[in-house]
Chain A
Amino acid sequence: MKTKINFLIALTAFFIISGCASKQVAFFPTSEVTYQNYSGDILTLRVLGYGGNENTAIEDAQMRAMETLFFRGIPNSNISNPLIGFNENELKRTHNNYFKDFFGYKRYLTFISETMLIGGQKQKVIATKVDKKSAKQDMVDALVVAVDVLVNVKNLRKDLEDQNIVRKFGF
């Protein structure tokens, strides 16, 4: 009997701990992307990424670079207009499969030729804490990294054209 009680206590504790662990932090979407260089096929961007550790922060920076390139454009560069368009939500809905593959299955990595970590700093930033029951904004501890992301724009545009996400050159 005692063994059964111990087992139940252990099981309850496990669920409580795993419940706490499932609480996720969603950092605000930002376009902290600065143009560095665009020569030949490669566009170099300096991006700020947020995460719990270095790997997640770098990944976040890479995704932010791509999102900004797709839906905002890079200011002060020759790609100041977005590569796909401004209407982000509608475009993502229309080309759901492409973006699921691109961001969800990390296909964007195949268009990044290099990622260089410039530096990182632990900071308290405002973010949304999401759990099963609620989502609330709060200050959280995060690692903020500055990363240089080198994007192979020529092939990326070709891919977007081939997948009919953007129109090819011409009518």
Chain B
Amino acid sequence: MKFYKIIIVIFFAFNVSISAQQIEQVQPTIMVMPFTKSGENALELYENDFKWQSIIARVNNAFQERGFRPKDLQETINQVKKSKAISTLKNANFNVEEAIYMEARTDIIVKAFINIHSEDNNVTNSVQVSLKAIEASSRMSLYDLPTSSSPPFKTTDYGYLVDRVLTEENRIEKFINGINDAFTQIITLGKAITVEIIVTDESVFKLDEEKTDSKFISELITEWMQNNSYKNQYRIKQDSENILSFDEVRIPLKTESGTNYSVNDFARILSVAVVNICGSKDGVKAKRTRPSVSEGTIRIILP
């Protein structure tokens, strides 16, 4: 009987270790967006101008060539139009770019910038292209492809010129490799998120309230962050009586057992920790508030 028990235990242990190895890493979501000088609606330009579509298609294609599927901008625009019940982005009375971000909820935004340089009454043209990959949660730049120009051509086929800039000397591949190197850093250092602990009128506790060992609640939360951020990587942005914010807290991509770890998992344990730190006041125990998680930012209202 004992022998069978041992066999069953070994079988389960083996099975668990196999299944832990088989868990696929959740991949980041990426979307390529056009980027213009302020005042210009890039998305409107994208819908109406082929050169913008060309640059987005070329960058998307480079991701696909590496076996990665970015989110489709046109589909996201269509979803926004549907939800806002409009047929065109022209003169939209809402922030189109923000609406796109909210709809797509991507981890990484790739911004593509194009500038056209014309000579001889717009007969000879060249384009300047630059690309920038930004981590949505921390707003940190992952990789920048410096501005590159096409030679001047007697053409108005901007799509061709854009394609030429990106494929010549395989610049686009350098950009993709640069982002992948940044991913290596994220795997090593953890994913960057931002955290805000806010005091509202309804908060019973205050950040500058003294608790154990004459420490303020804000200090105890900071200590918790120090112990629980991945490899102790955290940075305080603001520490006042109404807000304690961290502009960079690193969390792991996977747990020690190999399962995926998300911002929501971190938000859950953080909100429990905040309640435990607050403890009780006048005999009333602190009540846990639901943390809000959006684009890699955790917001918790102090109980």
A residues in contact (CB < 8 Å) with B: 38-40, 77-79, 81, 154, 161, 167-171
Enumerate chain B residues within 8 angstroms of A168, measured Cβ to Cβ: 66-67
Enumerate chain A residues within 8 angstroms of B170, measured Cβ to Cβ: 38-40, 78-79
Instruction: Contact check, B184 vs A170: say whether CB atoms are below 8 A apart.
Output: no
* B168 lies within 8 A of chain A by Cβ: yes
* B181 lies within 8 A of chain A by Cβ: yes
Partner of A169, one of B26, B167, B176: B176
Instruction: Contact check, A170 vs B28: say whether CB atoms are below 8 A apart.
Output: yes
Instruction: Contact check, A169 vs B253: say whether CB atoms are below 8 A apart.
Output: no
Q: State the majority secondary structure of interface residues on A.
A: loop
CB < 8 Å A-B pair total: 51
Q: State the majority secondary structure of interface residues on B.
A: helix
Enumerate chain A residues within 8 angstroms of B280, measured Cβ to Cβ: none
Q: In whole angstroms, what is the CA distance A171 to B66 when docked?
A: 13
* B83 lies within 8 A of chain A by Cβ: no
Instruction: Contact check, A39 vs B168: say whether CB atoms are below 8 A apart.
Output: yes
Instruction: Contact check, B167 vs A39: say whether CB atoms are below 8 A apart.
Output: yes
* B186 lies within 8 A of chain A by Cβ: yes
* B212 lies within 8 A of chain A by Cβ: no
Instruction: Contact check, B169 vs A38: say whether CB atoms are below 8 A apart.
Output: yes
* B68 lies within 8 A of chain A by Cβ: yes
Question: How many chain B residues have a CB neighbour from A under 8 Å?
Answer: 26
Instruction: Contact check, A171 vs B26: say whether CB atoms are below 8 A apart.
Output: yes
Would you mind naming 26 contact pairs between A and B with Cβ atoms under 8 Å apart?
A38-B169, A38-B170, A40-B167, A40-B170, A77-B169, A78-B170, A78-B174, A78-B177, A79-B170, A79-B177, A81-B177, A154-B65, A161-B67, A167-B180, A168-B67, A169-B63, A169-B66, A169-B179, A170-B27, A171-B25, A171-B26, A171-B27, A171-B28, A171-B183, A171-B186, A171-B253
Instruction: Contact check, A170 vs B68: say whether CB atoms are below 8 A apart.
Output: yes
Instruction: Contact check, B169 vs A78: say whether CB atoms are below 8 A apart.
Output: yes
Nearest CB of chain B from residue A90's CB, rounded to whole Å: 16
Enumerate chain B residues within 8 angstroms of A40, measured Cβ to Cβ: 167, 170
